[in-house]
Copies of this chain bind each other. A is one copy, B any other.
Amino acid sequence: MYIHEYQSKRLLHTYEIPVPRSEVFTQGDSIEKFVANFGGESWIVKAQVHAGGRGKAGGILWTHTKEELKQQIDKLMGTRLVTKQTDAVGLPIQTLLVEKPANIKREIYLGLLVDRASKKITAIASAEGGINIEEVAETSPEKIASVNIHKTSGVQGYHCRLLAQDLNLNKAQFKQFSHILRQMYALFLDSDASLIEINPLIVAEDESLLALDAKMNFDDNALFRHKKIASLKDTSQENPIELKAKQHDLNYVKLDGSIGCIVNGAGLAMATMDLIKHNGGEPANFLDVGGNTTAQRVTQAFNLLIDDESVRSIFVNIFGGIVRCDVIAEGILQALEETELTLPVVVLLQGTNAEQGKEILKGKHQLITAVSELTEGAKLAIEKAGGQS
């Protein structure tokens, strides 16, 4: 689960990591009142959306007077921001972070994440912080220092020294850096985070370190034990269909194509997309109804795809395991009765009682074509969607 920049910074502040002075402006607040509290100083107004690339997209604005501040708040609030990390519709701006600008001498990168390969929490740092850090990682990996933190030891002095090796910090800055890393790590453990990044962590004009932007991601599977973190969720930042899918515990990701997919198992769902692409089509979504699915979940999946206007045909690919294909087939027929679907549906049933399932579907519903094989199914779904996209 992602949270907003302002929420991340509040967490950092709670863990005694220095962040700029700031105020949060929420949709519905009085601009007059809000602006009245600020002097004639310079401020930065930052749109709070769950996406990077805000600066170039016009989501971060500088102001120097009360009047300007009013105008910029008014300009951003309630609009949608489209960045290179969002889709074409963009994300709604419902909160603004109004922050004191910092005088930046240098930008450092500092991150913590769970690393698959080492099965440990890994800390990463680079003297080349800022928006180009990914490029640095790809083109100059030697400029990125990383070290695993064993859970049994926690952050030790040597972790800090290793990461700071190329950061050119003076003694006081190194002390502050060590403090920040230890506190980030504590937050990481306390909150079941999967990612905490401070980027940039700046060296300010006054030589102190300051967290200028922060990104955090938390393990959805652990939210049950972190009520406070869970309450930071902002569903306005999520795709409405994806949101609806989650409510039904369906694993759905919206894509750009025209062939809707209903598949059981994440692996098989990906493999089905691969198959469609391989045969010249474009999947409209990734949709995993769960390894051991039920007829009911297939119905929910149909209901979900109805909301997506770009879907032209639906490919149902179910491998019957514990749940038998004949039961799934009956479920599909019933689902088509209950929903207002008008799209062609190609169904591939494999595994337990696959033949009986196919038999049940045969000729029962005009929209349905039952197939026997993967490639056949993919090709037919593409054809029904109106040929290659």
List chain A positions with a Cβ less than 8 A from chain B. Answer: 150-152
- Give Cα distance in the complex from A152 to B151, angstroms: 5
- 4 A–B contacts, CB within 8 A, in A order: A150-B152, A151-B151, A151-B152, A152-B152
CB distance from A173 to the nearest CB of B (A): 24
Copy number in this complex?
2
Nearest-neighbor residue (CB-CB) of A153 within chain B: B151
Complex interface: chain B residues within 8 A of A151 (CB): 151-152
Q: Contacts of A152 on B, CB cut-off 8 Å? A: 150-152
Whose C-beta in chain B lies nearest to the C-beta of A151? B152
Closest to A150 in B: B152
Closest CB-CB distance, A250 to chain B, in whole Å? 31
Kindly list the 4 A-B residue pairs having the minimum CB-CB distance in the complex, ordered from nearest: A151-B152, A152-B152, A150-B152, A151-B151
Report the minimum CB–CB distance from A342 to chain B (whole Å): 52
Closest chain-B Cβ to A153's Cβ sits at a distance in Å of 8
In the assembled complex, how far is the CB of residue A234 from the closest CB belonging to chain B, in whole angstroms? Answer: 32
Q: How far is the CA of A149 from the CA of B152 in the complex (A)?
A: 11
Which chain B residues border A150 with CB–CB below 8 Å? Answer: 152
CA distance A104 to B140 in the complex (A): 69
A186 to chain B, nearest CB (A): 14
Chain B: which residue is nearest A154 at the CB level?
Answer: B151
Expressed in whole angstroms, the minimum distance between the Cβ of A298 and any Cβ of chain B is: 37
A282 to B307, CA, bound (A): 94
Q: How far is the CA of A53 from the CA of B152 in the complex (A)?
A: 38
The complex places the Cα of A151 from the Cα of B153 at a distance, in Å, of 8
The CA-CA distance from A151 to B150 in the complex, in Å, is 10
Q: Once bound together, how far apart are the Cα atoms of A152 and B119, in whole Å?
A: 13
CA gap between A151 and B151 in the complex, in Å: 8
**Within the complex, what minimum Cβ distance (angstroms) separates A190 from chain B?**
13
Q: How far is the CA of A354 from the CA of B150 in the complex (A)?
A: 49
CB distance from A188 to the nearest CB of B (A): 15
Q: A192 → chain B, closest Cβ, in Å? A: 14
How many Å lie between the Cα of A136 and that of B383 in the bound state? 80
In the assembled complex, the Cα of A351 lies from the Cα of B2 at a distance in Å of: 68
CA distance A296 to B150 in the complex (A): 44
In the complex, what's the smallest C-beta–C-beta distance from A159 to chain B, in angstroms? 16
Least distance between A226 CB and chain B CB atoms (Å)? 17
What's the minimum C-beta distance from A189 to chain B, rounded to whole angstroms?
Answer: 11
Q: Would you give the shortest CB distance from A380 to chain B, in whole angstroms?
A: 51
- Chain B nearest CB: distance from A296 CB in Å? 33
How far, in angstroms, from A208 to B152 measured CA to CA in the complex?
34
Separation of A114 and B150 alpha carbons in the complex (Å):
20
The distance from the CB of A196 to the nearest CB of chain B, in whole angstroms, is 20
Q: How far is the CB of A217 from chain B (nearest CB, A)?
A: 23
Question: How many Å lie between the Cα of A73 and that of B151 in the bound state?
Answer: 50
| Bound CA span A151–B152, Å | 5
When chains A and B are docked, how far (Å) is the Cα of A150 from the Cα of B153? 11
A132 vs B319: C-alpha distance in the bound complex, in angstroms? 64
